[in-house]
Chains A and B, each alone.
Chain A
Amino acid sequence: MNNHKFALARRGLEMLGLMALACVFVFPFFWIVSTSFKTLMETARYPPSLLPENFNPINYAAAFASNNFPRAGLNSLFIVLAILVLQMAVILPASYALAFKKSRLEKPLFALILIGLMVPDQVTFLPVYLLFSKLKLINTYVPLIVPFAASAFGIFMVTQSFRQIPKDVIEAAKLDKSSSLKTIWKILLPSIRPTIICFALFSCITHWNDYFWPFAMTNQESLRTLPMAVAKLSSVDSVKQWHVIMAGNTMLILPLLLVYLPCSKWIKRAFAYNGVK
């Protein structure tokens, strides 16, 4: 009986802890959304109000109308999708080879890729910039997309999940007259779906939110991405238009949330993949 009570109390405490933690993470988002509906006067008030007095969707219109916002949104969408498609086209065959083709080069190559995983953009952007400027490709979409076509992280993740697939499943497919491409498509990909979805989300979030790279690679208005457009909201006026900035931010975050939420169960699975024994 006592034990039962103790367990209950423990569980309650755990829940409380988790809720507190959730609040810490959720509050900034809540604050962004809340502010995005306030008036400029209200954003400056002290103490600040938790919820807007009345909802002003007009802020969104203001954000949308500024800085070529729609164009920036489309740019971001295009870049993110193009990167994702290219990444898949590189990652899948590369990982297949690393995981299943015996070769003396396999280990050194994999090590090289792991090293690639550790080099941040800030280290590589200068040589990459110089390269593209020599090729006269600065101020096109190319330097925004192509440098990300080979993702060390993606190759690492997918190779590792390929390696978890029992070898005899692939051999069974061979005996079933399945070509390599068909085996990848019909047997391997479905088995590692959680990993693929998880990586796709990761890639989308990273490149959707990326500010540094497009900033370094472009100086032309028409190539602006959404984070740049949002950032620009705060730099035009001397008085910070917090309500408009937050409306822009909400529009930046919302698509990610819409993609992320239905996929969250796969993310959990990606870290707990098991084949049928």
Chain B
Amino acid sequence: MASIEFRGVVKVYDKKNLVIDDLNLLIEDGSFTVLVGPSGCGKTTALRIIAGLEEVTKGSVLIGDEDVTKKEPGDRDVAMVFQNYAIYPHMTVKENIEFGLVNAKVPKAEREVVVAAVLKQVGLERHVDEKPSKLSGGQRQRVALARAISKKPRVFLMDEPLSNLDAKLRNQMRRELVELHNKLKTTFVFVTHDQIEAMTMGDCIVIMCDGRIRQKGAPQRVYNDPDNVFVARFIGDPGMNVYPMEGGGFFGFRPRKVGFAGSGDNGAGVDASGDDGPADNASGDDAVSWPGRVAAKEILGSEVLYCVKTKLGDVMLKTSSAGRGMDDLATVSVPRKNLVFFDQNEDRVRDENEIRRLAGGRLGA
């Protein structure tokens, strides 16, 4: 168990391609931290820097209290689960797990015990002597996981380990990984570009874009209280509706916090994230509304996702009532207290007076 710390880490590929720019990040001991961000933002690079598979251009990396910047990957006491599993194709399941243990000079008797234990843990006891080519994708993933667990590392690193699995198996593995983390209490660092995966698995989310951290915090926190437009739009399914304002800056609202005027469901939908949604059917003075036309309707089981074209632009709206049809005229309405504001630099405005001033003004540019 150990914390991980990036101190002023810079990574430049091929002398000109700046991938990570002055990264300062503390990943807490025992946390399940998820690095999330769009493709190409440097998540994998950050993870590989922790593992020692990639050298830093500048700065240092600490695991525990120890500076590991110059240490070999094998000496860092970390285990990694790769996206394509990276199990050794010519070795049996057992040999795959044993390879690292043999190299670490674990005595044979102890190896046997460890291998049996981890295989039981991932439910592969019956496949000990099978070659990977005989296993399904999910089983291979478990072999990779077992191999990582067997080393009892201080840190688990996972680079999109679930992206090659089908949806059902992915859900199951998500749960298993969270359980595993609860049991092992080791630091997990998990990379994904899927914000739902990030929200459901992590106890701490680090949102990255273009090699910089945009926000770090608990899933609830980054959802309810985004630091900037990027995070607001990235987190949530779909992300926040954000529009420019006349006097510069931006305002936005969650698709669940907006409703159709006059239907009694204006932004009053029960919010799954459990935060302080509007209790009253806000309308009139303390709500803002825009007339528009339903442009798309998507039924998601118990909920319906609408896309309404208004003069603001497309407004995404998530509600439990399926009353509107395509091309219906509809007015969307948001209680003013559900609005969040951002300045010209797309950073969140948190100052009460400033918010009151912005919220009172004309919305929509």
Contact = CB atoms under 8 A, between A and B. Distances in A.
Interface in B81-100: 82-91, 99-100
A193 B89 CA distance: 12
Contact of B79 (A175, A178, A190): A175
A175 B51 contact: yes
Contact of A177 (B53, B86, B90, B104): B104
B86 A166 contact: yes
Given A168-B82, A276-B132, A276-B133, A175 B87 contact: no
Contacts of B133: 276
Contact of A175 (B88, B91, B100, B132): B100
8 contacts: A169-B89, A171-B53, A171-B82, A171-B86, A172-B88, A177-B100, A182-B103, A191-B90
B330 interface: no
Interface string A161-203: 0000010110111111110001000110011010000000000
Contacts of A276: 85, 87, 89, 132-133, 140
A67 B87 CA distance: 56
Contact of B99 (A166, A176, A275): A176
B74 A187 contact: no
B82 A186 contact: no
B305 interface: no
Contacts of A5: none
Contacts of A191: 89-90
Given A187-B88, A191-B90, A275-B89, A177 B74 contact: yes
Given A169-B88, A275-B89, A276-B140, A176 B100 contact: yes
Contacts of B82: 168, 171-172
Contacts of B91: 190
B166 to A, nearest CB: 15
Interface string B68-87: 00001111001110111111
A171 B90 CA distance: 16
Contact of A166 (B80, B84, B103, B104): B84
Interface string B13-34: 0000000000000000000000
Interface of A: 166, 168-169, 171-178, 182, 186-187, 190-191, 193, 275-277
Given A182-B103, A186-B99, A168 B74 contact: no
A172 B74 contact: no
Contacts of B89: 169, 191, 275-276
A105 B214 CA distance: 39
Interface of B: 51, 53, 72-75, 78-80, 82-91, 99-100, 103-104, 132-133, 140, 147, 151
Nearest to B153: A175
A-B pairs, top 4 by smallest CB distance, nearest first, are A176-B100, A177-B74, A168-B86, A276-B89
A194 to B, nearest CB: 11
Nearest to B88: A187
A176 B90 contact: no
A182 B103 CA distance: 10
Nearest to B74: A177
Contacts of A176: 74, 99-100, 103, 147, 151
Nearest to A193: B90
Given A166-B84, A176-B99, A171 B73 contact: yes
A177 B78 CA distance: 11
B78 A175 contact: yes
B103 A178 contact: yes
A172 B86 CA distance: 7
Given A166-B86, A168-B84, A175-B51, 11 more contacts: A168-B86, A171-B51, A172-B80, A173-B99, A174-B72, A174-B74, A175-B53, A176-B99, A177-B103, A191-B90, A276-B87
Contacts of A171: 51, 53, 73, 80, 82, 86
Contacts of A169: 86-89
Contacts of B53: 171, 174-175
Nearest to A174: B73
Contacts of A168: 82-84, 86
A187 B95 CA distance: 11
Nearest to A192: B90
Contacts of A173: 88, 99
A71 to B, nearest CB: 41
A182 B100 CA distance: 12
Nearest to A182: B103
A152 to B, nearest CB: 27
Which of A171, A173, A175, A178: most chain B Cβ within 10 A?
A175
A182 B88 CA distance: 13
Nearest to B132: A276
Contacts of B73: 171, 174-175
A76 to B, nearest CB: 33
A104 B309 CA distance: 54
A171 B83 CA distance: 12
Contacts of A175: 51, 53, 73-74, 78-80, 100
